[in-house]
Structure 1
């Protein structure tokens, strides 16, 4: 029995080596994810230090969602800005984190189009600062050019998701209405 168990153990070890164990408990042969859907090195579970600041909109991005300070700022255009306290729920933060992880927000992003081509004005600007697992990353994107990259489109979609959550809060709804517009 001991001899059979030893052979079985050796056969199992040989199969693991031949199968291409990647050192993280997974097998290289099992990794058939396309590069586009591969997730980032961000931890699967939201780390305790996860926070972000998003500035967006016309005129340099005067709207802001800031989980570092727990605030939301609304661009009132001709009347400046107004700020209120913002409390996102643990679940909302987890959902936002999951979306950031899905698009690999902490990875390298191509935000400038290869052929900038035409320009448009007015245009929006987005600035992101994200902290997760001891790492902080900042990035900026603009809709100044008619074409935007896939990475920029993903960030714009994420902005709209975060904006929808933030603007649904009572604190945001209590802020004054904007007056005027951008040309």
Structure 2
């Protein structure tokens, strides 16, 4: 080394050099320890693609549980059956506000649940596939909320929410419905116009023109509509080979949206049976009220 360089960069004493090296090695050891014992625990998701199940991005309308936010959840009974069965595979497709699908796959393996989330179709999120192992899937229902939560999961986040469905009618700016039913749809429940019409089956009807649906009944009917996914588009039929036959017409208004359905009792499709079940739930709920009980009995019949 030249005298010029030597005078500008003086050599450190050996004692100082050894102390600096020991300090550097100790710091490096601490950092590595922190990464191993804390950093890894903050990454509970398994991002090794070899351990992820193959996920199709094609919707299966018959088998997938499909949540469309305010438009309801389809095939929720599939998820309940999966929990009850405790085996097999179930997929849940959650649509974002923008309409992009997020695929969630649940599979029982070795007494635990393998939970995989695929966000590669979410244009506004981070595209990735992640997997974690959990102990079980819990279903908790209140008067206004239904949640499905994975518990006993690996990593620091022991609980992970799979699905949350809110049906609190108080939080809606508007919820009204008109249900017409029976032979020639002469019976009517109209919450918007506060009207009840009962077919007496003798050529006349009885009416209540100041009918108010009790709050608890309004809540239970709204819940039934949401959980039965009967706010979606339906494939329904009005055809019937019986005479006389019962038909239905249901109009639902929620905030600024409106749904309208017409079908007959002969529609035994999945959508038809679902809609008939909801219509009967509404009818039973209203007919249990004192306002309806005060209407005259139907005495006539149909040929």
Equivalenced residue count is 160
With CA pairs under 8 Å and 6+ residues apart, which has the higher RCO, 1 or 2?
Answer: 1
Matched, 1:41 2:69: yes
1:53–1:129 CA contact under 8 A, matched in 2: yes
1:2 & 1:49 partners in 2: Cα distance?
A: 57
> Following TM superposition, by how much is the alpha carbon of 1:158 offset from its aligned partner in structure 2, in angstroms?
1.1
Matched, 1:88 2:188: no
Q: Secondary structure at the match of 2:69?
A: coil
Matched, 1:121 2:229: no
Label 1:91 to 1:39 Cα distance change in 2 as closer, same or farther (>3 A).
farther
What is residue 173 of structure 1 aligned with on the other side? 293
What is residue 64 of structure 1 aligned with on the other side? 188
Q: TM-score, normalised by structure 1?
A: 0.72
Q: Secondary structure at the match of 2:206?
A: strand
Answer 1 or 2: which has greater strand percent.
Answer: 2
> Following TM superposition, by how much is the alpha carbon of 1:55 offset from its aligned partner in structure 2, in angstroms?
0.4
1:63–1:73 CA contact under 8 A, matched in 2: yes
What is residue 77 of structure 1 aligned with on the other side? 201
What is residue 25 of structure 1 aligned with on the other side? none
Of 88, 107, 130, the residue aligned with 2:252 is 130
2:274 & 2:31 partners in 1: Cα distance?
A: 57
Matched, 1:152 2:272: yes
1:75–1:178 CA contact under 8 A, matched in 2: yes
1:119 & 1:75 partners in 2: Cα distance?
A: 22
1:40–1:101 CA contact under 8 A, matched in 2: no
Which consecutive unaligned segments of at least 5 residues does structure 1 have?
20-27, 29-33
Label 1:39 to 1:77 Cα distance change in 2 as closer, same or farther (>3 A).
farther
What is residue 226 of structure 2 aligned with on the other side? 101
2:292 & 2:244 partners in 1: Cα distance?
A: 24
Q: TM-score, normalised by structure 2?
A: 0.46
2:302 & 2:39 partners in 1: Cα distance?
A: 73
> Following TM superposition, by how much is the alpha carbon of 1:120 offset from its aligned partner in structure 2, in angstroms?
1.1
2:286 & 2:65 partners in 1: Cα distance?
A: 27
> Following TM superposition, by how much is the alpha carbon of 1:79 offset from its aligned partner in structure 2, in angstroms?
3.9
Q: Which of 1 and 2 has greater Rg? A: 2
Cα deviation, 1:45-95, whole Å, max 9, x if unaligned, reads 32231111100001x211111111222110112242111132222221111
2:237–2:262 CA contact under 8 A, matched in 1: no
Q: Secondary structure at the match of 2:224?
A: helix
1:73–1:83 CA contact under 8 A, matched in 2: yes
Q: Secondary structure at the match of 1:95?
A: helix
Q: Secondary structure at the match of 2:233?
A: coil
What is residue 76 of structure 2 aligned with on the other side? none
